[in-house]
Amino acid sequence: MKKIILVADDSPSIRKFVSFALAMKGFEIISAADGMEALEKLPDKQISLVITDLNMPNLDGFELIKSMRSNDQFKDIPIIILSSLAGSDEIQKGMEIGANSYLIKPFDPKRIVYEVSKYLN
Amino acid sequence: MKQVSNMSDLFERLNDLKVVFRYGQKLIPIIQSIIDFMKETVPLLEDINTSIADSTNKIPKAKDQITNVTSATELATTEILDIADSISIDLDKIEKELKLLQENETKKKELWVKIKDLLKDNDGSGQLVEEYEQLDNSIAVMANFQKVFDKIKNDVYNITLSLQVQDITSQQLAAVNHLIESVRQRLSSLVMHLDETELSNMELVKIDSPDNSTFNPEAVYTKSQEKQDMADSLVNSNSSKASQDEIDKLFS
C-alpha cells in the first residue's frame, strides 16, 4: 500500500513540484493550500508524513505544527518544513515546536526524497 | 507753550510716518515679487497635487498587473510541470521496455553462441555467421539509447528544479505589491494634506487589501547550498539538544 504524504503550501507550483518528486518514488500525495485545509484533511486518510510551508494564509505552518503536536492522533507524524525562510530564528522555532526536518526553498528534489525516505522507510 | 510742544510732537510723529512710508515704498516691489512668485507657484503646486492624486489612482492598476503576472507564471509553471511529469512517466515506460529488450538480447546472445557452436561444422556457414555478427549491434545501440534516456531524464529533472524560480519570484512580486500599497497609502494621505477640496473632486481609488497572500520579502532563488547547510547544522544541533533532554529525563 502506498504511503500517503500531505503537502501544505499556498503555492500550487510548489505543491505540484513536491508531488512530482515524490510520486515518482511511489508515494501518494494529498495537497492543501494552507494550514487550515491541512488540518481538515489530516483525519481523512492515514497520513504518514506532512510537508509544510511556513508562510501560509489562514493558518501558517508554525500553527499547523503546534496543532498537530498537541493532538494525540497526529503528534507522532513526521513533519518536514519546506520554506524560503532561512533565518536561524525560524529554523530554531520550527524545530522547537516539533518539526523533524527543515528544508529551504529552492530545494533539491533528491533531498526531499531522502528526507521522506528517512522517516518512512 | 503747551500747544507748541504738542505741535512739535505731531511733527515728530509725522516724520516717523514719512520714514515708514519711505520704507514701505521700498518694500512694495519686494512684496510684489513675492505675490508674483506665489502666483506662479500655486498652479505648480496644484499640478503636483493633481499629479500625485493621479499617480495614486494608477497604483491599483499596477498592483493588478503584478498580480496577473504572478497568476500567469503560476499557471505556466504548473502546465510545464504537468508536461514534465508526463514526459517522466513516458520515459519510465520506455526504459522498462528497453530493459526487457536488453535482457532478451543478452539471452539471444547466449543462444547465438550455442547456435554458432553447432554451425561451426557446417561448410559455408562461417561467412554467414560473420555477416550476421557484423549486423548485430543491437546491444550497443540499446546502451546508447540508455545514455540518451538518462540525459533526457536529467534534463527534465533540471527543468523542474529551475521552475522553483516561479515560487520565489511570486514571493518577491508579492513583496513589491505590499511596498506599492504602502506608497499608495502615504501618497493618499499627502494628497489629503495638500488639498482637501481637490480630493473631493478626485476620488481616490481604494484597493482591497491583497488577497490574504503571504510572502517572504527575502526569498532568493539560488542554487547555493549555503543556507541549507546552515539549516542542517541548526537541525542537527537541535536534535542533539533533544537527546540531551532525554538523557536528563532519565536521571531526574
pLDDT tens sequence across A78-113:
999 999 998 889 999 999 999 999 999 888 888 999
B133 and B87 within one domain: yes
Question: Which of B209, B235, B237, B240 to mutate against chain A (most A CBs within 10 Å)?
Answer: B235
Q: How far is A53 from chain B (nearest CA, A)?
A: 11
B42 and B29 within one domain: yes
Question: Which of B160, B214, B218 to mutate against chain A (most A CBs within 10 Å)?
Answer: B214
Q: Which amino acid is at B143?
A: A
Write out the H or E segment, with its range, that includes residue A30: strand A28-32
pLDDT tens sequence across B86-96:
998 899 899 89
CA dist B222 and B220 (Å) reads 6
What local confidence, expressed as pLDDT, does residue B2 receive?
66
Q: How many CB pairs under 8 A join A and B?
A: 99
Residue B241 binned pLDDT confidence (cut-offs 50, 70, 90): very low
B189 and B143 within one domain: no
Q: How far is B219 from chain A (nearest CA, A)?
A: 6
- Tell me the average pLDDT across B191-215: 57
Domain membership of residue B6 (yes or no) is: yes
B115 and B156 within one domain: yes
How many structural domains are present in chain B?
3
What local confidence, expressed as pLDDT, does residue A65 receive?
96
B158 and B64 within one domain: yes
B228 contact residues in A (CB cutoff 8 A): 103-104, 107, 111
Domain membership of residue B34 (yes or no) is: yes
Domain membership of residue B203 (yes or no) is: yes
- Tell me the average pLDDT across B174-197: 78
Domain membership of residue B176 (yes or no) is: yes
Domain membership of residue B231 (yes or no) is: no
- Tell me the average pLDDT across B170-182: 87
B212 and B154 within one domain: no
- Higher per-residue pLDDT: B213 or B41: B41
Residues forming beta bridges with residue A19, ordered by sequence position: none
CA nearest to A54, candidates A18, A80, A19: A80
Is residue B252 scored above 80 in pLDDT? no
pLDDT tens sequence across B55-79:
888 888 888 888 888 889 889 998 9
What local confidence, expressed as pLDDT, does residue A44 receive?
86
Kindly report the number of other CB atoms within 10 A of residue A8's CB atom: 29
pLDDT tens sequence across B209-223:
445 567 787 777 777
- Out of B77, B165, B227, the one facing A86 most closely (by C-beta) is B227
What local confidence, expressed as pLDDT, does residue B244 receive?
42
CA dist B216 and B170 (Å) reads 10
Percent of chain B with pLDDT over 70: 84
A16 contact residues in B (CB cutoff 8 A): 77-78, 81-82
Whether residue A103 and residue B163 make contact (CB cut-off 8 A), yes or no, is no
B156 and B141 within one domain: yes
Is-contact B198 B53, C-beta < 8 A?
yes
Domain membership of residue B145 (yes or no) is: yes
Is residue B187 scored above 60 in pLDDT? yes
Whether residue A57 and residue B161 make contact (CB cut-off 8 A), yes or no, is no
Whether residue B84 and residue A13 make contact (CB cut-off 8 A), yes or no, is no
What local confidence, expressed as pLDDT, does residue B245 receive?
53
Is-contact A35 A62, C-beta < 8 A?
no
Burial code of B116-150, b = ≥16 C-beta within 10 A, e = fewer? eeeeeeeeeeeeeeeeeeeeeeeeeeeeeeeeeee
Residue appearing with cell numbers 513526521: A78
Domain membership of residue B151 (yes or no) is: yes
Whether residue A109 and residue B167 make contact (CB cut-off 8 A), yes or no, is no
- Tell me the average pLDDT across A49-76: 94
pLDDT tens sequence across B112-160:
889 888 887 787 788 888 888 888 888 888 889 889 988 998 898 888 8
B227 contact residues in A (CB cutoff 8 A): 86, 104
CA dist B1 and A10 (Å) reads 102
Is residue B208 scored above 60 in pLDDT? no
Is residue A116 scored above 90 in pLDDT? yes
B176 and B158 within one domain: no
Is-contact A62 A93, C-beta < 8 A?
yes
All residues at 6 or more sequence positions from B116 whose CB lies less than 8 Å from its CB, including other chains: B129
| Domain limit, last residue, from B115, B143, B162 | B162
Whether residue A57 and residue B230 make contact (CB cut-off 8 A), yes or no, is no
Question: Which of A31, A56, A105 to mutate against chain B (most B CBs within 10 Å)?
Answer: A105
- Higher per-residue pLDDT: A77 or B201: A77
Domain that holds residue B7: 1-48
Domain membership of residue B147 (yes or no) is: yes
DSSP letter string, B34-55:
HHHHHHHHHHHHHHHHHHHHHH
Residues forming beta bridges with residue B227, ordered by sequence position: none
* ipTM (interface pTM): 0.76
B166 contact residues in A (CB cutoff 8 A): 13
B167 and B153 within one domain: no
- Higher per-residue pLDDT: B176 or B192: B176
B40 and B65 within one domain: no
Residue B194 binned pLDDT confidence (cut-offs 50, 70, 90): low
Whether residue B167 and residue A11 make contact (CB cut-off 8 A), yes or no, is yes
B74 and B148 within one domain: yes
B82 and B33 within one domain: no
